[in-house]
Amino acid sequence: MATTTHARIFDHTTATQSLVVANQTSDQVSSSNTNTNTNTNVNTASTGTTQCSGPTTVQCSGGNQLPTCTSYPCLIFHDDFETLNHEVWEHEITAGGGGNWEFQYYTNNRSNSYVRDGVLYIKPTLTSEHFGEEFLTHGSLELWGSQPGDVCTGNAFYGCRRDGNPTNIINPIQSARLRSTRGFRFKYGKVEVEAKLPTGDWLWPAIWMLPYRNAYGQWPASGEIDIVESRGNLDYVDDQGQPQGVNHMGSTLHFGPNYWHNRYETAHGEKTAASGTFGDSFHKYGVEWDENHIRFTVDDDEVLNVAPAENFWKHGGLDTSGLENPWEGATKMAPFDQEFFLIMNVAVGGINYFPDTFTNRNYPKPWSNKSPAALRDFWNQHAQWYPTWNPDKNKGEDAAMQVNYIKVWKMKP
């Protein structure tokens, strides 16, 4: 049986003493079953003191101070979502999405993000349910805010204010995107997330990471690590007839000196479920990241392993591009040699992730990625796609991404 050793550290930022899990034996890196409640939460980056409940009560407190590890693997973060810890997780508030002109806006309310029975739910809903349908074409979505918990977090792509008209309607979906910037960031280690992906047409769930500081410049120069992405459609295939819906997932690294030279295609892997879909039950999504490689897994099966022979500049074939290398003089893993934070979200639609060349076999895609009124075109066909979200069953939670836990280990000194 594995044993746990506790050590006390002193956080000079908050002048409070914290009891954190410091030593883990190697077999503790293995999975936990879906409904276990072994909360040894290491939210050591809270701005105040947070009580973490479980078989052993521990205190977690502030700064981004990680536990002192004396043996490895060493558990440095664990959230099993008995509560929604706002000292760790910040809700992004924006209509700008992720730069793909998606059809949702992100907000902070307990209709779109909440915990119940040790599971985090990120559930998209209709904007019209909150404001009325006329709001989409004649209203103003004002997200600027004024208080710490409701200030707009992203003004890019008109993210803090949208005005509706009959051609360019307001984002018809409300959803949530949570990031660990308030409480946790790390460089190198192993991440394991047990999650159930949403089922429903045009849903786009993602669990991923971005750099805490853009040490090498703006996206994608400082990197992006996509642990898992998927599409919620049940019968969706690419132009070769291969599955691309909720029975399929992908992992990706984004990197390059600028938007036009993003070399993600050299660092992308996919996997189709052996049976059923990734929305039928919980699955384990993982990434192992160190000074030599980044390896992605689902249910412990490898999806992708990126190990640059010299550096990512050459790995991406950028050494013959004639462009300036933003990672010159850095380590071989640059830009993936900096601290990253965790992100979880459910997006909807957009003009990139659902290619016009793919086929939704139940009915045609409601919009073209080239349409100047893609939001309107999508919404006008909501009688087709909204029933696939099963809004009247299971509290509409078939369309929610459900996260049972997140664990992060430091694997070596």
Predicted confidence at residue 12, as pLDDT, reads 28
Q: Residue 1: is its pLDDT beyond 90?
A: no
* 208 and 108 housed in the same domain: yes
Predicted confidence at residue 64, as pLDDT, reads 67
pTM for this entry: 0.87
Predicted confidence at residue 70, as pLDDT, reads 93
Task: Label residue 123 by pLDDT band (50, 70, 90).
Answer: very high
Contacts 24+ apart (CB under 8 A), 53-62: 53/82, 54/80, 54/82, 56/4, 56/6, 58/6, 58/19, 58/20, 58/21, 59/16, 59/17, 59/18, 59/19, 60/18, 60/20, 61/11, 61/14, 61/16, 61/18, 62/11, 62/13, 62/14, 62/16, 62/87
* 159 and 278 housed in the same domain: yes
* 44 and 141 housed in the same domain: no
Select from 80, 115, 133 the last residue of a domain: 80
* 160 and 273 housed in the same domain: yes
Sheet strands (E) in 259-400:
268-272, 283-289, 294-298, 301-306, 340-348, 359-360
* 49 and 169 housed in the same domain: no
What domain range includes position 6?
A: 1-80
Share of the chain above pLDDT 70, in %: 85
Instruction: Give tens-digit pLDDT for 218-271.
Output: 999 999 999 999 999 999 999 999 999 999 999 999 999 999 999 999 999 999
Mean pLDDT of 327-347: 98
* 241 and 273 housed in the same domain: yes
Instruction: Give tens-digit pLDDT for 268-320.
Output: 999 999 999 999 999 999 999 999 999 999 999 999 999 999 999 999 999 99
* 109 and 53 housed in the same domain: no
Instruction: Give tens-digit pLDDT for 51-95.
Output: 233 322 223 334 567 788 999 999 999 999 999 999 999 999 999
Predicted confidence at residue 63, as pLDDT, reads 52
Mean pLDDT of 95-120: 97
Predicted confidence at residue 80, as pLDDT, reads 97
Cα radius of gyration rounded to whole Å, the chain: 21
Q: Residue 32: is its pLDDT beyond 90?
A: no
* 74 and 167 housed in the same domain: no
Task: Label residue 43 by pLDDT band (50, 70, 90).
Answer: very low
Instruction: Give tens-digit pLDDT for 359-412.
Output: 999 999 999 999 999 999 999 999 999 999 999 999 999 999 999 999 999 999
Task: Spell out the residues 6+ positions from residue 328 whose beta carbon is closer than 8 angstroms to its own.
Answer: none
* 17 and 157 housed in the same domain: no
CATH of the domain at 303: 2.60.120.200
Select from 18, 51, 80 the last residue of a domain: 80
* 198 and 289 housed in the same domain: yes
Select from 58, 80, 102 the last residue of a domain: 80
Three-state SS at 405:
strand
Domain count, the chain: 2
- Shortest CA distance to 254 belongs to which of 291, 320, 206, 309? 206
Mean pLDDT of 318-347: 98
CA 24, CA 8: separation in Å to the nearest integer?
A: 15
Mean model confidence pLDDT for the chain: 88
* 266 and 381 housed in the same domain: yes
Q: Residue 14: is its pLDDT beyond 90?
A: no
* 131 and 267 housed in the same domain: yes
Instruction: Give tens-digit pLDDT for 182-213.
Output: 999 999 999 999 999 999 999 999 999 999 99
Q: Residue 41: is its pLDDT beyond 60?
A: no
Q: Residue 2: is its pLDDT beyond 50?
A: no
